[in-house]
């Protein structure tokens, strides 16, 4: 099953969310895996978050609890909703939910990433927060720069 395309389609189809989660912010992660959230994100986020690797293990997706649930439900919208009798849908939901972790924003406006989360996404000291409307992503800075450098924005915008 190709999580990459299913996840991207779900984010596009569902829409909505907190529009303030926009922009690119560079931060440093400390040795304990703590990251200070951008102040514009802290202003609109609740304390309880869900963190999951993106389907390609390139970065981490960070959602508010309800937005994560909506994202998972959205994966099945185009297929008539979740059906427990579908082996594919059940397997997809199990895998997605096994990869997510709860996280709280501490009193200093930081989140803590586990060693496993840091390893999966290849995160070291320099990271980039990327707002994507209803969620944000945490990328390794070099990996993000390589990704952005590989994107031909003019070409993508001219496609219809």
Q: Where are the domains of the chain?
A: 3-158
pLDDT tens for the chain, 160 residues long, are 444 444 444 443 344 444 478 999 999 999 999 999 999 999 899 889 999 999 899 999 999 999 998 888 887 776 776 666 778 878 888 988 999 999 999 999 999 999 999 999 999 999 999 999 889 999 999 999 999 999 888 888 887 6
β-pair type (60-64, 136-140): antiparallel
Task: Find the helix packing angle between 3-14 and 65-74, rounded to 10°.
Answer: 110
Q: Which two tokens stand for residue 88?
A: 């594919």
CA-wise closest residue to 15 among 77, 102, 80, 58 = 77
**The model's pTM:** 0.81
Separation of alpha carbons 156 and 160, rounded Å? 9
What is 3-158's CATH number? 3.40.1550.20
């Amino acid at each position: 099953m190709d999580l990459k395309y299913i996840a991207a389609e779900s984010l596009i189809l569902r829409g909505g969310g907190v529009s303030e989660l926009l922009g690119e912010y560079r931060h440093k992660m400390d040795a304990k895996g703590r990251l200070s959230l951008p102040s514009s994100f802290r202003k609109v986020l609740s304390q309880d978050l869900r963190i999951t690797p993106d389907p390609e293990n390139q970065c981490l997706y960070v959602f508010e609890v309800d937005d994560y649930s909506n994202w998972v439900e959205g994966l099945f919208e185009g297929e008539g909703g979740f059906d427990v009798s579908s082996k594919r849908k059940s397997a997809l939901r199990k895998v997605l939910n096994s990869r997510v972790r709860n996280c709280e924003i501490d009193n200093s406006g930081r989140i803590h990433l586990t060693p496993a989360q840091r390893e999966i996404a290849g995160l070291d000291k320099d990271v980039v927060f990327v707002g994507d409307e209803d969620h944000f992503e945490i990328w390794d800075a070099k990996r993000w720069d390589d990704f952005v450098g590989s994107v031909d924005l003019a070409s993508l915008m001219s496609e219809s």
